[in-house]
Amino acid sequence: MKTKRRNVKVNKAVEENKWVDHVTPITTYQESVEFVALWEAIRGISLDSSREDTIRWRWTEDGEYTIKSAYRIWKAKAEPKCRFFAWTLLHKKILTADNLSKRNWQHDPISKLCGIEHETPTHIWKDCPFTKEV
């Protein structure tokens, strides 16, 4: 039997732990690990109800969302696999060591390209000495 979920303000949800009611049923071990990590991460947060929320789009200088900014990668004259790679890289979803760590997967934290720095999307894309040379 499904229960009807009602809308709740974020402030109230965080303060009274009502956000837990809005989490989809947890069915895997990984989901339970992520749930506990989320619970611990927001446990000490208190929101200021006197301030308005602000939303900033990180892909534009002024922080304003535009369709153009969201889809500029997809219009690039490049192979589809390159556009997909750029999209995942831009959104930091590429499975680098730091993202594997967040999922509790086994990994070596050091970049395979240079063998020096920790592997992150930013490191692989622009900071790695090997990438700079290539």
Backbone angles phi, psi at 11, to 5 degrees: -55, -50
Tens of pLDDT, residue by residue over 115-127, are 888 888 888 888 8
Note whether 38 and 72 are same-domain residues. Answer: no
| 74 Cβ contact partners less than 8 Å away, ≥ 6 residues apart | 83, 87
Enter the pTM of the model. 0.42
Are 94 and 36 contained in the same domain?
A: no
For the stretch 21-58, pLDDT in tens is 777 788 888 888 888 888 888 887 777 778 777 777 77
Distance CA 69, CA 95 (A): 24
Quick: pLDDT tens for 57-113. 777 788 887 777 777 778 788 899 988 888 888 777 888 888 888 888 888 888 888
Q: Residue 109 belongs to what domain range?
A: 67-133
In this prediction, residue 8 has a pLDDT band, given cuts at 50, 70 and 90, of low
In a domain, residue 58? The reply is no
Tally of domains in the chain: 2
Q: In this predicted structure, what is the pLDDT of residue 123?
A: 86
